[in-house]
Amino acid sequence: MVRRYNRNRIISDTEDSSNDDVQRNDNDARLSERLNNCSGERQWKTPTATRNFEPRVIYYIDLNNGVQEASGLSRNSCPTSVFEYFFNQELVEMILKKSSKYRKKQGFTKVPYNITVADMYSAIAIIIYMSIVHLPTISMYWDTKPMYNFQFTRKIMSRDKFLRILRFLHFSDEDNNKINGKNIDATCKIQPVIDMLLSRFQSAYRPGRNIVVNESVMLWKDRMPFDECAPNERATFGLKTFILAECETGYVYNLKLYSRQLLRKLNSEPLGASGSIVLHLTKHLLQQGRTLFLNNYHSSPALYEILHKNRTNVCGIVRLKRKEMPYYGIIAKDINRLEKGQMLVRYNEIVAFCLWKDKKLISTLTTVHTPCMVLSTNIDQITGQYRKKPNVVLDCNTYMSGTNQIHQILQRHLSINKSMKWYKQYFVHLIEVTIFNSLVIWNSYHGNKKTFREIKENIISGLLKKYFIPVEIFHLKTEGSPKKFPLCIKSRCFPKKIPPTAKKCHPTKHCVLCRENKIRKQTSYFCNDCNVPLCIVPCFELFHTTKI
């Protein structure tokens, strides 16, 4: 597949430099105005025997963390109830409304689409099931070959009905998000679902003292209006999401989907895109003394001072040549003198900078530590002693693993189908994130920790038992010869006339049971629930009572 890139407009040197100067001056003016309100000097000092960095640690005061009582979730809530709190009926009805409107807009008014809320929950259960049992194509889940004979999906929903739900799946009114026929932001296709889920995420659970902002890339190599290349991630190409999570549990409290429109908007802010996205994600958790951990993409001295002014401690890895870092003229000459295991420290009134040389140079910023060397749990293979590391590096390694836990679990259970559009696949990704948050809440109440796969199985069984399928369908005996048609144990199967169409007043179809016996016979009746054409006598009775 050949990737297409937008051509950049060629402009003169004078025009380019003048535009850059104007943009740079505007950004510098806005940044200076915001930083003037921040306490502390911009001079970087060197620690001595009598003078060292003394952090102004802000104490944590939010005692209302954990599961919120207003959500109604408790120890008695089952995994399905927690999932339904996030993925509630209001969200499902919104999806059905947008999907029906999209179907009519595309001109498929004659295609039957009598999809209910129960059908949508059934489709979600099948989607979760597909993330556990992986097959190359969707249609193989309904294949009747012995090696692919998955009766589970066939009992829940017919293949055509499930594919029809996926085909018309839609989440927004695109007409309201267009100017001159073009989308204002490509993420508008999935943004309504994100907004509704985030409101439930934030009302159900409140993170504790330590939080982390990081990036997550969902694997996707097909064509889409925006993509991101992350060479260091397991998914090199895909949809990039900025995530705010709790360090200890990995609970996703807030997220923002990356797009080029978002990047252009945030670049106009004084802190740029990397710093502004942090302020956007943490706006509901400031002023309470939390400790925020950041990676080198987001960290900068200016951001740390603004967060400290908003009563939030910050710590993280930083790029050595980031703007306003003490690199040029301060430590550039001392870097070559560093030996393995040594560190350099510089500080101002608010932020301390620590440069440590291991296999490579590791630079960190902190407002909560006095940088010093401490013993780690790693043993040096040469000396046999515990290795020494800076306390800043140890805390970053410990607390920044919250989002790594999410990445590892979701990558193992990733369900990718190239025939789906990007926003539909991201909808599947949001379902996975919702299940992960349900797992965190369930484990916070119960000592016996469930795995991600186990809670998926509980949610699938709970959705089907509560809404649609009788409990007995999960306990059918498998003795006897294999059957080509399922034994229908539902009490809502009745024969009905095939409805007339625009071309035929009395339409007929081939009876599925007669065709199986190589008998060519047409009928004007069908089963209203199984949605298969059948002869009244004797095929209708045989189909629903006999194991064939």
Q: Give the Cα separation of 70 and 202 in Å (integer).
A: 11
Q: Give the Cα separation of 216 and 329 in Å (integer).
A: 36
Q: Which part of the chain has CATH 3.90.350? A: 42-65+207-413
Element (H or E) spanning 317, and its range? strand 313-317
Give residue 439's pLDDT: 93
Q: Are 367 and 55 a contacting pair, CB within 8 Å?
A: yes
- In DSSP notation, 281-296 reads HTTTS-SS--EEEE-T
Which region, left, alpha or beta, applies to residue 324 given φ > 0 means left and ψ of -120 to 50 means alpha? left
Give residue 328's pLDDT: 60
Q: What is the mean pLDDT of each run of 10 residues along the chain (548 residues)?
A: 41 42 50 42 77 90 90 92 95 94 83 84 93 88 85 88 91 70 74 95 95 80 54 61 92 89 77 89 93 93 94 93 74 76 90 90 93 87 86 91 72 62 89 94 86 93 78 38 46 81 85 87 88 88 70
What type of residue sits at position 206? R
Q: Degrees (nearest 5) of the Cα angle 177, 180, 181? A: 65
Q: Which residue has the tokens 């040096």?
A: 380
Q: Which residue has the tokens 């499902």?
A: 92
Q: Give the Cα separation of 4 and 1 in Å (integer).
A: 10
Q: Locate 82 and state its tokens.
A: 């927690």
Closest C-alpha among 317, 263, 319, 311 to residue 285? 311
**CB neighbour class for 10 (10 Å; exposed up to 12, middle 13-18, buried from 19):** exposed
Q: Locate 261 and state its tokens.
A: 């429109």
Give residue 77's pLDDT: 92
Could you name the CATH architecture of 42-65+207-413? Alpha-Beta Complex (3.90)
Closest C-alpha among 281, 279, 286, 284 to residue 300? 279
What are the b/e assignments for 316-353, b being 16+ CB within 10 Å? Answer: bbbebebeebbbeeebeeeeeeeeeeebbbbbbbbbbb
Sequence-separated (6 or more) residues with CB below 8 Å from residue 269: 30, 275, 276
